[in-house]
Amino acid sequence: MDRVGQDELISLGQDELISLRDLSVLSPYSQEYLSLAARKGLLDATKTGGVWHSTKWALNQYCLEHGRK
């Protein structure tokens, strides 16, 4: 796996782990909110080097299941 800076992209083939900081730009949720969802197990995510990461697919699933109504 390649590590590039603080907001690294980790290539895993089809899905890519992206920092929650970068994913928050793609969603109506803040980085802090997504981190809370990850800690509660509501957002499929992993912590690497002290930074939470998830995928666009997992973020989309979270938004569909727990999105604002």
Q: Read off the tokens for 17.
A: 């782990």
pLDDT digits (tens, 9 = 90+) for 2-45: 344 444 444 444 478 999 999 999 889 999 999 999 999 999 99
Q: Which pLDDT does position 69 carry in this prediction?
A: 54
In a domain, 1, yes or no: no
Nearest to 66 by CA among 38, 40, 45, 43: 43
For residues 1 and 4, give the distance between their C-alpha atoms in angstroms, rounded to a whole number. Answer: 10
pLDDT digits (tens, 9 = 90+) for 56-69: 999 999 999 988 65
Q: Which pLDDT does position 8 carry in this prediction?
A: 46
Q: Which pLDDT does position 14 carry in this prediction?
A: 46
- The residue type of 60 is N
In a domain, 33, yes or no: yes
In a domain, 2, yes or no: no
Q: Read off the tokens for 19.
A: 């920092």
Domain that holds residue 15: 9-66
For residues 33 and 20, give the distance between their C-alpha atoms in angstroms, rounded to a whole number. Answer: 9
What's the number of domains the chain is made of?
A: 1
Q: Which pLDDT does position 67 carry in this prediction?
A: 80
* 16 and 54 Cβ atoms separated by less than 8 Å: no
Give the predicted TM-score (pTM) of the model: 0.75
In a domain, 57, yes or no: yes
